[in-house]
Chains A and B, each alone.
Chain A
């Protein structure tokens, strides 16, 4: 029974090995990829159903008791995010064959795709800080291979920066874990939380906490550590951008949410106030970046940054409404960012350029694509009744309750500007005179996965009544570290 917790990690790992073997036969590989991603989605929904209805599943590998062995903890937050990861992965698996040239598929795209999913799921499910580092490395290694796939001049240049910044933050991560080990003598998250509570988080522990925050902030692309992100997310193939935009920055956000709701919660005046102001600056600088460019890919890549800012605001405020808002927004943002990157991939493919000033009149040829972009812009900006609205509403409600009105105003203004920045793509790209010389290109197979993601996103917004109770119980669970500690250490 408890072995179920490791399934979302093992299944993609095996799938990755199998598709690496069948790599030469592209047809079979595509079929296997679709098959395994759907099976993975089905299993993760089953796991989530068990966990959300019952209690946390804790897997102690090799039957070593919790503080001594390695543990995997499938709690309600982790399984919710794992399901979302698998939804995005499934959409990408169906989108990839139509978007990638066959030469790139033959360079083991599908194998690395599954290794990435395995690493991301592992990072969500692990209950051990050092293993979090290991899974970070697993997903980073896969992402190094994916980002450089194709090997163009610009791609190599940006990949190099991506690899170097991640390498540095990994080294800092190891150093922070070493510090924490020397102070507390453990790397098990539950035991770390327990011991920090015992010593009331003295100064040295807060320092280590901020060091860890630096690591996760680099991954999550927070101000002022976001500078590597927009360009390196625009150079790879659209499907790779979709995976990165949806999953990688969110792993950073998830880690911050986990570490700073479970372990370092006794000096909130310092750490969490810092988060609120970093969130405000992230919102401002992210949206300025999105407004400053006419490159459609860059607009979407910059839009990842303010979304992370909203989630950080929720984590910084740390009350019931704000945390449930952050969790809801995390799920919403993973889905809609994947959809947007995919839409932009199709736009660039049909228009043959990334420059907005050279586009126009696409709606005459591709009406469905145009309306999908329109809907996803509304979802992203948080127009009611779509899913972005509910997440933002909860986060901002929580922020108002904590009297950080300035940041709330910044958040509201940013929402408007997000809507404008995406609408700009719609107005300049889709409106305008019909271009008679335009040769209509086939978008067969690309629209389906996008529509699937947007349908889920709309369902999240309209069906919020049904989802909210479980999100609320996750927030209650996160705000009380005792529940996590007890379910892992069983005292």
Chain B
């Protein structure tokens, strides 16, 4: 199971980075979203995937889930949600102010 999810995370990373390397701004924004998804999936996988065991250690209990990755992933999801919305708003404003969504034209030596 871990292997499959790891491969999935890798594919998401690849797709995200491919999108981030494009010239169109919206694609870059989508790419960042995909890359963060990949990272979240990856954190979850790193704590071992298990079902049917509560995150409790008591005497005599051998089957338990590790709660820490879930706490980490939750924090990370909230943060990346906020950042993604910032990126979208910023991209929209940049596009309207500069009249282009092409990164080639946003390099920064045109107006100087």
Contact = CB atoms under 8 A, between A and B. Distances in A.
A261 B73 CA distance: 28
Q: Which of B35, B83, B91 has the most CB of A within 10 A?
A: B83
Interface string B76-107: 10011011001100110110011000000010
B68 A181 contact: yes
Contacts of B36: 167, 171
Interface string A139-181: 0010010001001111011111001100110110011011101
A223 B97 CA distance: 31
A53 interface: no
B35 A171 contact: yes
Contacts of B35: 168, 171
Contacts of B86: 141, 144, 163
B42 A178 contact: yes
A159 B43 CA distance: 29
A130 interface: yes
A231 interface: yes
Given A141-B83, A168-B20, A153 B39 contact: no
B39 A137 contact: no
Contacts, number: 88
A157 B83 contact: no
Contact of B82 (A141, A168, A177, A179): A141
Contact of B39 (A154, A171, A187): A171
**Interface of chain A: mostly helix, strand, loop or mixed:** helix
Nearest to B40: A174
A163 B42 CA distance: 23
Interface string A217-260: 00000000000000100000000000000000000000000000
Nearest to A231: B108
Interface range on chain B (Cβ under 8 Å from partner): 20 to 34
A175 B42 contact: yes
A39 interface: no
A480 B22 CA distance: 46
Size bracket, chain A contacts: 20 to 34
B24 interface: no
B70 interface: no
A156 B98 contact: yes
A178 B35 CA distance: 14
Nearest to B43: A178
Contact of A164 (B32, B75, B79, B80): B32
Given A160-B94, A163-B86, A167-B32, A154 B108 contact: yes
A167 B87 contact: yes
A178 B66 CA distance: 13
Nearest to A186: B68
Interface in B20-43: 20, 25, 28, 32, 35-36, 38-40, 42-43
A182 interface: yes
B39 A168 contact: no
B46 A156 contact: no
A134 interface: yes
A153 B90 contact: no
B47 A181 contact: yes
A130 B72 contact: yes
A148 B90 contact: yes
Contact of B90 (A130, A159, A181): A159
Nearest to B91: A160
Contacts of B91: 160
B65 to A, nearest CB: 14
B25 to A, nearest CB: 8
Interface in A170-214: 170-171, 174-175, 177-179, 181-182, 187
A31 B86 CA distance: 30
A225 to B, nearest CB: 16
A157 B28 contact: no
A153 to B, nearest CB: 5
Given A134-B75, A141-B83, A158-B108, A178 B39 contact: yes
Contacts of A175: 39, 42
B98 A168 contact: no
A157 B46 contact: no
Contacts of B111: 153-154
B79 A151 contact: no
A382 B40 CA distance: 46
12 contacts: A130-B72, A134-B75, A144-B90, A151-B97, A153-B111, A156-B97, A156-B98, A159-B90, A167-B87, A178-B42, A178-B69, A187-B68
Given A153-B98, A171-B38, A181-B72, 15 more contacts: A134-B75, A141-B82, A144-B86, A148-B90, A153-B97, A154-B111, A156-B97, A160-B25, A163-B87, A167-B36, A168-B20, A171-B80, A174-B39, A178-B69, A187-B68
Q: Which 8 A-B pairs have the closest CB atoms?
A: A182-B46, A178-B43, A156-B94, A178-B46, A174-B39, A153-B97, A137-B79, A171-B39
Interface of A: 130, 133-134, 137, 141, 144, 148, 151-154, 156-160, 163-164, 167-168, 170-171, 174-175, 177-179, 181-182, 187, 231
